[in-house]
Amino acid sequence: MNALFSLVAIIVIIAAAFLGASVPHLDFLFGVVFPYAAITVFLTGIVYRVIKWSTSPVPFHIPTVAGQQKSLPWIKDSPLESPHNTWGVVGRMALEILFFRSLFRNTKMEMKNGPKLVYGSSKYLWLGAIVFHWSMLIIVLRHLRLFMQPIPSFVLGLDSLDGFFQVGLPGLYITDVLILSALTFLILRRLTVRRIRYISLAADYFPLFLLFSIAATGVLMRYFFRIDLVNVKELAVGLFSFHPVVPQGTGVLFYVHLFLVCTLLVYFPFSKLMHMPGIFLSPTRNLANNSRMKRHVNPWNHPVRVHTYEEYEDEYREKMKEAGLPLDKE
Amino acid sequence: MYDSGKIIAGLVIFIGLFTSPFWYDLASGTALQTPDLVLPTKADQKQCVASLEFMRRDHMALLNDWRTQVVRDGITYYKSANGKEFEMRYTKTCLGCHTNTSQFCDQCHNYIGVTLYCLDCHNMPATQIQGPMAAKILNPNSEILNKLQIQN
Ligand code: HEM
């Protein structure tokens, strides 16, 4: 049901772009108005949510670590698994963000031969996730050739690296194969593994379907139903330099691709895709495990009225002297 | 707001990166320059082997197709939509009209960042090469020239 709902939503979006962009003059809406609106929603949405997150205190010092904390000099600590200073935290975060380290540690639990409980490592989710995310990053960076004029040389370098195999014309990009395979795997995982299907919501399927349709329309445009790329670049550079133009005869498929991307941008701040900024703000990852060296004060703490020992002594000095008790101050 | 320094620095970096195409194109000065094509002027060179729309989108697939037909199937002539026959040869037919590759092919290829590697191995008759490849091929010490012994 959830999957079906998301599928229908995607089909409606694609149909809307197909019909809309074929109507004369509506291409300005799809080519200029929607992209500007989508970028605005994307940026303000993310800024709003991150600022909102930053207003919640972190009451407890809660790094979740997988290694020995730094303590006595003769106990070997693990500075990346259980960092005690900022550099350690930066290293740990980098491993998490670039290589999904904690997902790499994913385990599975299975019943084998009757009542035997077996734990094992399970790397498939990690593999699918890392292949998808890196492919997407490289594809977006490669797209800069359509957005920037003159084209920065690193974009061209990335392009020739990605087209390394020189298969076909226009040349096949490795990342195109990888992103579609990874997304197919991630979708099938939700659909076929019963436990995961049970907990999957429409909000889990929708981003997968959306990303798949973006990649699929991109691939269709490049290898099967080609569009006019010079027009696309004129449109894109026009958008970015605030001189919007809508060249004629670009091809409807391009507008479908673009509308899906706009949908992604608008959907982003309202959805689980906010894990992108969220990973940076995870207290279980971004705090140093230094609770034995530094006192973490709960910012929520109400200022407590305390009675210090000095004040106590001042109050009872005479009585304590009479009773012969030792005093800090005479 | 807690850790406001870090939060704001992070947001500024993120927005800066995401909007970098805006800054780049606004600062570049040449962003709005589009390809400037010099088209054949002779009367008998006005009609290409296929429609303008098709050529703009699909010329690379057409060339690939011609390659397959000539090399694998031994078919050497292409009949265009209006019934005219063309020899399926890039150097003779395509470059016969579009004589200056740097004022035609390279214009769009450079604009959208397409790098051709065909000519890294294959050669063309020297008189027809005027693009950036010319220096590479026409140079008498050129590795390509020596390897392939182009005679012209
Ligand atoms: C989330 C962002 C995007 C993703 C994941 C994405 C994905 C893809 C993919 C996988 C392809 C196949 C060919 C390739 O890998 O280069 C593609 C092609 C293409 N995309 Fe995107 N795209 C995105 C955003 C955009 C935007 C914003 C535009 C235009 C303003 C755009 C325009 C194009 C065009 C014109 C092609 C065809 C390229 C060619 O024929 O060489 N894409 N896209």
Residue A213 lies in a domain: yes
| A-interface mutation test, from B20, B30, B56, most A Cβ less than 10 A away | B56
Q: Which two tokens stand for residue B1?
A: 């707001």
Dihedral angle over CA of A260, A103, A276, A233, nearest 10 = -40
Q: Which amino acid is at B55?
A: M
pLDDT over 80 (residue B139): no
Domain total for chain A?
A: 1
Which DSSP string corresponds to B49-113?
Answer: SS-HHHHHHHHHHHHHHHHHIIIII---EEE-TTS-EEE--IIIIIHHH---GGGTHHHHHHHHT
Tens of pLDDT, residues B104-115: 999 999 999 998
Instruction: Identify whether A279 is part of a domain.
Output: yes
Q: Which residues contact A263 (CB under 8 A, 6 or more apart)?
A: A13, A38, A210
Of all residues in chain B, the one with the smallest CA distance to A163 is B115
User: Which chain A residues contact residue B21 at CB under 8 A?
Assistant: 144, 147-148, 236, 240
* The predicted structure's pLDDT at residue B125: 56
A-B contacts (CB, under 8 Å): 104
Mean pLDDT on A142-153: 96
The predicted pLDDT at position B150 comes to 43
Taking CB atoms and an 8 Å limit, are A237 and B2 in contact across chains? no
d(CA A27, CA A246): 7
Q: What does the pLDDT read at residue B44?
A: 84
Please check whether residue A21 is in contact with residue A252, taking contact to mean a CB–CB distance below 8 angstroms. Answer: yes
* Residue A327 resides in a domain: no
This model of the complex carries an ipTM of 0.88
- Domain extent at residue A136: 2-297
**Token digits for A13?**
């979006």
Q: Do B3 and A54 touch (CB under 8 A)?
A: yes
CB B124 within 8 A of CB B98: no
Test site for ligand 1: of A36, A39, A143, A211, most ligand atoms within 8 A of the Cβ: A143
Nearest partner of A218 among A142, A131, A133, judged by Cα = A142
Residue nearest atom 21 of ligand 1, based on CA coordinates: A218
Give the pLDDT confidence of B1-57 residue by residue, as tens digits.
Answer: 888 999 999 999 999 999 999 999 999 989 999 999 999 988 888 889 999 999 999
Among A101, A148, A297, smallest CA distance to B112 is for: A148
Contact B32 A238 (CB under 8 A): yes
pLDDT digits (tens, 9 = 90+) for A225-250: 999 999 999 999 999 999 999 999 89
Q: What is the mean pLDDT of residues A121-130?
A: 94
Asked if residue A64 is part of any domain, the answer here is: yes
Please indicate whether, in this complex, the C-beta atoms of B32 and A299 are within 8 angstroms of each other: no
The pLDDT value recorded for residue B138 is: 52
B60 touching A (Cβ < 8 Å): yes
User: How far apart are the C-alpha atoms of A72 and A162, rounded to whole Å?
Assistant: 49
**Predicted local confidence at residue A197, as pLDDT:** 95
Which residue type does A211 have? L
Name the closest residue on chain A to residue B26, using Cα atoms.
A241
d(CA A149, CA A144): 9
Average pLDDT value over all residues in chain B: 84
pLDDT at B149: 46
Q: How distant is the alpha carbon of residue A144 from its chain centre?
A: 20
Q: For the domain that residue A189 is a member of, what is the CATH number? A: 1.20.950.20
Q: Which residues of B touch A152 (CB under 8 A)?
A: 24
What is the atom index within ligand 1 of the atom nearest the CA of A265?
1
In a domain, A328, yes or no: no
The per-residue pLDDT for range B72-111, each reduced to its tens digit, is 999 999 999 888 899 998 888 998 899 888 899 999 999 9
Residue A189 lies in a domain: yes
Q: How far apart are CA A186 and CA A323, in angstroms?
A: 77
Is residue A325 one of the residues assigned to a domain? no
CA-based R_g, chain A, Å? 28
In a domain, A267, yes or no: yes
Cβ(A141) to ligand 1 under 6 A? no
